[in-house]
Structure 1
Amino acid sequence: MQTAGWRRGANDWRRLLPLAAGTLLLGLGLFCAWQTWLIAVEQGAAERVEQSQQEAVRAVGEEIAATRTRASEALATIDPIVQDDPALLAAAVRRRLPQVLAVEVYSAGLDEVLHADYRTFGYAKAAQLLAAQADDGIAPVQSVSVKGERRLSLVLPLGPASQPRAWLWLEFPFAPIKQRFTAVSPAGGRLELRQGDERGELSLLATGSSAATLATVVAVPGSSFSVSAGRPEAFIVLPRSWLLAACLAVLGIAGGAYVLWRRVHPRGSPDLETEEIMVSDIKLNQPQPARPAVREAAPAAARVEVDAGIFRAYDVRGVVGKTLTAEVARVLGQAIGALMREKQLTEIVVGRDGRLSGPELAGALADGLRAAGIDVIDVGAVPTPVIYYATYRFETGSCVAVTGSHNPPDYNGFKIMVGGETLSEGAIQDLYRRIRAGDLPGDGHGGLRQVEIVPDYIERITSDVQAERALKVVVDCGNGIPGAVAPQVLEGIGCEVIPLYCEVDGHFPNHHPDPSDPHNLEDLILAVKKTGADLGVAFDGDGDRLGVVSREGEIIYPDRLLMLFARDVLSRRPGATIIYDVKCTGHLKEEILAAGGSPLMWRTGHSLIKAKMRETGAELAGEMSGHFFFKERWYGFDDGIYAGARLLEILAGDPAGRSPEEIFATLPKGVSTPELKIPMAEGEHYRFIEKFKQSAHFEGATLVTIDGVRADWPDGWGLVRASNTTPVLVLRFDADDKAALKRIQDAFRAELLKVEPNLKLPF
């Protein structure tokens, strides 16, 4: 019986072998046929992308040539009488070229360019002007950025190029170039308009799939531009020869079909081996048990348990490994992707700070976004303001900064912008709702590309902000990610930088990266005094907040800095709205009014402030925490590094030549406290504030309740509010003198203890 069973098994295997071999050959043949099709399609796609590239080069070149021709013809018609007067000449050019944005006249020998301070004048501008002399008057057209606006720059001689009477620098709108370039279809690939050489190439415009790999470059005649082209990479494992792939396909399919056919039609009749049949092998009329129906279970969608407490008012934030994991980051990415798909947005910038958990969380977030069908631009480890800048630079309108900001090392989180709106409150809770409901798309195949954005960010600031004299400044980055960028920016605007704790270290070994806490500024104050620096600046963990100390070691609180910024902005934007949060001094309103501005107090929170700026069109905003938002000459997002550069520009460019201490002394101040905090259980601080609003009574004070309770008297004010980032009550007091400060604190003490008699007060 055992021998018979063995023989039957051996025969079964012999019968199955041809079936397996034929199926394998047929499968390989079909795979090769698919590869043949991919190779043919790829070659056709490459030709179409190449044609689009040539069309883009031709379109941009034609627009450049037309602009140069119009400008040359206009110069040829100018009356010789005005050609020796630069002002009259510039005015005549403007009349003949209404579309020109800027006209500058330089001498025939370009002496003023040769002896210019290129840091102020601009290296690229000087190079373009000097190239005109070397290139027979035909300097390549290029693009320049003027206060965030992209323009086309052109240099032309007045008269013959060999003996010009003068040289003219002309700036035209970049929009016609953009219109001609974007009108060209990328044909399923990707086209990028770039400027510069391989050492300093700058991407100006891009169309098509972000997943395409740029391969070929064609220069645009008469310019420093080039058009790069790439096609999406297909999954091709065979050599890229359609003839070879086709031969392999034919061999595989034919071989597999033959083997399967021979199995069905064997040659001759096989010799049948007679088996001895045992009586025990036969079961007569025994009913076979019915087989139960087999039902294959559908795989259940994996649900990730997410702590609702990490979804806060301004961002998503939690403790790594506990409330915040890679899985949480991934589903958050899917939720953000779902929101973007509803808004028909397809591309997002993702970056991270220097925390140890950043790479894992940022990678998981990107995976979730890509699973939702969103293309990701990864800018790597950079300060949060650089991520915001990249969002504007690449015109995505959406970004996520993976950052724990000023929180302890074991924290991390996500600051989120979608469609130009920084998510807060209800929009943050909507992401939690989507995750809890499992409303998470996972069928997408978003692309991923990594971009180096820091040099562009530094160039953008240093091309606009300059210090007229070299101030010596100590820069304390608290081992946060600003250490990789801030010193370069401040050196670039013309200051002497003394770095302090600028090595990026996610353990924060020296002090906590939170400049709003005076204890964290002690080392900076000591360093400023020891080095004889003019002042010291400090940044928080992700670089969106600024702290400042004077030469004498005085902390210049952000509400006083906002007075200085308001004066500067209002000198160019009279009547502009200036927003400040409820924690700022009462003197700020008076200073804004005195400078000709329109003051507006608003709720604390970077996302809430930015939303109010969009609503009111404000040119400047600031918070007591050190967030500053410049719309004038910048983009309106909170940027501690840019704010530091603007501060140094103001201090170094004082018309009266005053020292920073003398300028700070003009900013009114009273007797004030830093932010005082009362820890509470999670959620209890919100309930306390609601009770306090109902019961608080302050004789003779004006109450403001847009964010907690603020009581203003003629000689000072006090505030208590619930923090939206940590479970604490935040208090601050400010008055004209110590007696008034004590009176206000006593009044608040009585009202606070009326709500909770056992409350431990820090004042």
Structure 2
Amino acid sequence: MIETVSTTAFTDQKPGTSGLRKKVKVFQQQHYAENFIQAVFDVLDDRAGATLVIGGDGRFLNRVVIDKAIRMAAANGFSRVLVGQGGILSTPAASNLIRQSGAIGGLILSASHNPGGPDEDFGIKYNVGNGGPAPEKITEAIYARTRTIDAYRIVTAGEIDLDRVGTQELGGMTVEIVDPVGAYADLMATLFDFTAIRGAGLTVAFDAMSAVTGPYATEILECRLGFAEGTVRNGTPLEDFGGHHPDPNLVHARELYDLMVAEDAPDFGAASDGDGDRNLIIGRGIFITPSDSLAMLAANAHLAPAYAKGLKGIARSMPTSAAADRVADALEIPAFETPTGWKFFGNLLDAGRVTICGEESAGTGSDHVREKDGLWAVLLWLNILAATGKSVRQIAEEHWARFGRNYYARHDYEGVDSAAADALMATLRDKLAHLPGQKVGDLTIEAADDFAYHDSTDGSVSSNQGVRVLFAGGSRVVFRLSGTGTSGATLRVYLERYEPVSGQLDADTTQMLADIASAADAIAGIVRHTGRTQPDVVT
């Protein structure tokens, strides 16, 4: 039975860089989730008879909203939905399933690395038929529809068993509950040399952070690659991620870091986030920044079977360090600098212009899907270690000796008053034209701009993507407001100092960035605008 339910539009359903993210209690408002889902369906002209993928990261409210989404899909003309068993699908696995099944797209229910639980965060993101996040023209159409919507359609009769793999029927639509892990694990086996990894004698610690990658990592690392039982820690997905913040950085994965700097540390340590698209890489006694990891993976990707013939190009988000650009120069392949958001990489990947992409926020991936992929990065690192017989530290030190080192850190000021954050950025933009040539301490400002991206694949222009201040010698600071939080504003300040091959390659990162951190406050007035004397998180 299809029911048309009258509703009233909400004014706060504008998708950000990764869909609509709000507190759980916001999504629990009557009609709130239904309104957004119906708005997504309303902008899909070819949904009649189409296949839709639905899954999420298992956080609180996941199963409830998935049940609603399935019922609404049946009422809106879809012929088939593919749903991960238990409502589980990591973001990269969902991307893969969309691509393999020929689906029109998919609903991914996640707030990524944000905390979960009744008082925490929830999110819904729509991915298109290439498996990647919806482009801005679609998210803008969705937002426009949310502001005028007055009804949604839903099938109210019938039961859905999310835990039983196999085919069911609801309102004339086929509901196929699928193994969420198998197809993704099979894909990884085609990309990497599992035999070499199994035979390398490596020891590994992987922290799934009580999030979605637990089952994937257990299947691949312990079952298929033969690493010891217990290699995967915190491997059971929990609705509240065990009360922890599922963000794979040195603050929230501190236990893993402490393990990896101990004398008896494993060879390799890694973690992934709430929905499985981010990664943390730590060798014995050495942390690899996401920016460096992207560059090192690109420089050594040819050691894995899928990339043995070389890379077509490398893309990075604007705030990500320029380390990958130096690799692209050496390989004589294109390097692209895009705004933050994987959807920009998707265009380049679809056009065959790049093979590997990455963001400083711990996301890396390749053309195998259209999302960043935490376990993919872990497996490529393992393949490189197995093929070379070198440690993570050796790989890093040899890389810096060849390309120089981009010392890098991100300072996050979380929950900043939105008006204060906006005022900081507005004031900064107003003074851009006058910054070049100024000296701040021992640093000379060479250029300053508000980054705009001209997409060479579709002609689109994305403006106001973050303020860049570039210093003489290749160092810089970047300021931008994040679109992934759910309360207040998050000011992100990215600090980067380039040291050439002849410079200091083994110094302390904090010390090497101290003058740039001071310059950032002097230029933007962080303390004056926000009242914060130090960041909440440093990664």
Residue 540 of structure 1, CA deviation: 0.4
Aligned match for 2:83, one of 378, 383, 386: 378
Q: 1:651 to 1:740 in 2, by over 3 A?
A: closer
What residue in structure 2 maps to residue 428 of structure 1? 139
1:492-507 matches, within 5 Å, as: 494=225, 496-497=227-228, 498-507=231-240
Letter in 2 for 1:395: G
Letter in 2 for 1:376: V
What residue in structure 2 maps to residue 543 of structure 1? 276
Letter in 2 for 1:663: I
Deviations 1:277-302 (A, max 9, x none): xxxxxxxxxxxxxxxxxxxxxx9952
Q: 1:443 to 1:309 in 2, by over 3 A?
A: closer
Letter in 2 for 1:509: G
Gapped runs of 5+ residues in structure 2? 156-170, 438-444, 453-464, 505-509
What residue in structure 2 maps to residue 701 of structure 1? 446
Residue 636 of structure 1, CA deviation: 3.6
**If you compute each CA radius of gyration, which structure gives the higher value, 1 or 2?**
1
Q: Does 1:483 align with 2:214?
A: yes
RMSD: 2.9
Partner SS for 1:322:
helix
2-side partners of 1:325 and 1:645: how far apart? 41
What residue in structure 2 maps to residue 565 of structure 1? 297
Q: 1:719 to 1:377 in 2, by over 3 A?
A: same
Residue 407 of structure 1, CA deviation: 0.8
Normalized per residue, the structure richer in helix is 1
Q: Does 1:721 align with 2:480?
A: yes
What residue in structure 2 maps to residue 651 of structure 1? 385
Residue 353 of structure 1, CA deviation: 1.1
Q: 1:644 to 1:757 in 2, by over 3 A?
A: closer
Aligned 8 A contact 2:7 2:151 in 1:
no
What residue in structure 1 maps to residue 201 of structure 2? 470
Aligned match for 2:397, one of 645, 665, 683: 665
Aligned 8 A contact 1:373 1:443 in 2:
no
Q: 1:545 to 1:359 in 2, by over 3 A?
A: same
Q: 1:355 to 1:617 in 2, by over 3 A?
A: same
Residue 536 of structure 1, CA deviation: 0.5
2-side partners of 1:363 and 1:752: how far apart? 46
Q: Does 1:610 align with 2:343?
A: no
Residue 411 of structure 1, CA deviation: 0.7
1-side partners of 2:38 and 2:378: how far apart? 36
Partner SS for 1:611:
helix
1-side partners of 2:271 and 2:311: how far apart? 31
What residue in structure 1 maps to residue 373 of structure 2? 639
Q: Does 1:442 align with 2:128?
A: no
Q: 1:368 to 1:303 in 2, by over 3 A?
A: same
Letter in 2 for 1:708: G
Partner SS for 2:43:
helix
Residue 382 of structure 1, CA deviation: 2.5
Residue 648 of structure 1, CA deviation: 0.8
Residue 589 of structure 1, CA deviation: 1.5
Aligned 8 A contact 1:586 1:716 in 2:
no
Aligned 8 A contact 2:9 2:149 in 1:
no
2-side partners of 1:755 and 1:424: how far apart? 35
What residue in structure 2 maps to residue 527 of structure 1? 259
What residue in structure 1 maps to residue 288 of structure 2? 556
Aligned 8 A contact 2:74 2:154 in 1:
no
What residue in structure 2 maps to residue 58 of structure 1? none
Q: 1:437 to 1:310 in 2, by over 3 A?
A: closer
Partner SS for 1:518:
coil
Aligned match for 1:676, one of 403, 412, 428: 412
1-side partners of 2:363 and 2:407: how far apart? 22
Aligned 8 A contact 2:413 2:490 in 1:
yes
- Larger relative contact order (C-alpha < 8 A, sep ≥ 6)? 2
1-side partners of 2:177 and 2:526: how far apart? 56
What residue in structure 2 maps to residue 454 of structure 1? 181
Larger mean CA deviation between 401-410 and 568-577 belongs to 568-577
Partner SS for 1:509:
helix
What residue in structure 2 maps to residue 34 of structure 1? none
2-side partners of 1:350 and 1:531: how far apart? 42
Residue 685 of structure 1, CA deviation: 3.5
2-side partners of 1:636 and 1:686: how far apart? 32
Aligned 8 A contact 1:372 1:440 in 2:
no
Aligned 8 A contact 1:313 1:428 in 2:
no
1:182-581 matches, within 5 Å, as: 302-308=6-12, 311-325=15-29, 327-342=31-46, 346-374=50-78, 375-379=80-84, 380-409=87-116, 410-420=120-130, 422-438=133-149, 442=153, 445=171, 446-467=173-194, 468=196, 469-491=200-222, 494=225, 496-497=227-228, 498-509=231-242, 511-515=244-248, 517-528=249-260, 529=262, 532-552=265-285, 554-569=286-301, 572-574=308-310, 576-581=312-317
Partner SS for 2:25:
coil
Q: 1:491 to 1:443 in 2, by over 3 A?
A: closer
2-side partners of 1:585 and 1:605: how far apart? 15
Partner SS for 1:438:
coil
Letter in 1 for 2:484: T
2-side partners of 1:545 and 1:739: how far apart? 27
Residue 531 of structure 1, CA deviation: 5.4
Larger mean CA deviation between 350-359 and 502-511 belongs to 502-511
Residue 524 of structure 1, CA deviation: 0.5
Aligned 8 A contact 1:354 1:504 in 2:
yes
2-side partners of 1:760 and 1:451: how far apart? 48
Deviations 1:637-674 (A, max 9, x none): 221112211221111111xx322221122233344323
Deviations 1:314-351 (A, max 9, x none): 31111112245473222322222222234666110001
Aligned match for 2:470, one of 706, 712, 725: 712
Q: How many residues get paired?
A: 460
Q: Does 1:744 align with 2:455?
A: no
Aligned 8 A contact 2:102 2:129 in 1:
no
Aligned 8 A contact 2:211 2:274 in 1:
yes
1-side partners of 2:35 and 2:174: how far apart? 18
Q: 1:514 to 1:742 in 2, by over 3 A?
A: same
Residue 478 of structure 1, CA deviation: 0.7
Residue 542 of structure 1, CA deviation: 0.7
Letter in 2 for 1:319: K
Aligned match for 2:327, one of 588, 591, 595: 591
What residue in structure 1 maps to residue 459 of structure 2? none
2-side partners of 1:716 and 1:427: how far apart? 36
Deviations 1:20-76 (A, max 9, x none): xxxxxxxxxxxxxxxxxxxxxxxxxxxxxxxxxxxxxxxxxxxxxxxxxxxxxxxxx
Partner SS for 1:448:
strand
Q: 1:753 to 1:526 in 2, by over 3 A?
A: closer
Letter in 2 for 1:662: Q
Deviations 1:110-164 (A, max 9, x none): xxxxxxxxxxxxxxxxxxxxxxxxxxxxxxxxxxxxxxxxxxxxxxxxxxxxxxx
| TM-score, L = length of structure 2 | 0.78
Q: 1:526 to 1:430 in 2, by over 3 A?
A: same
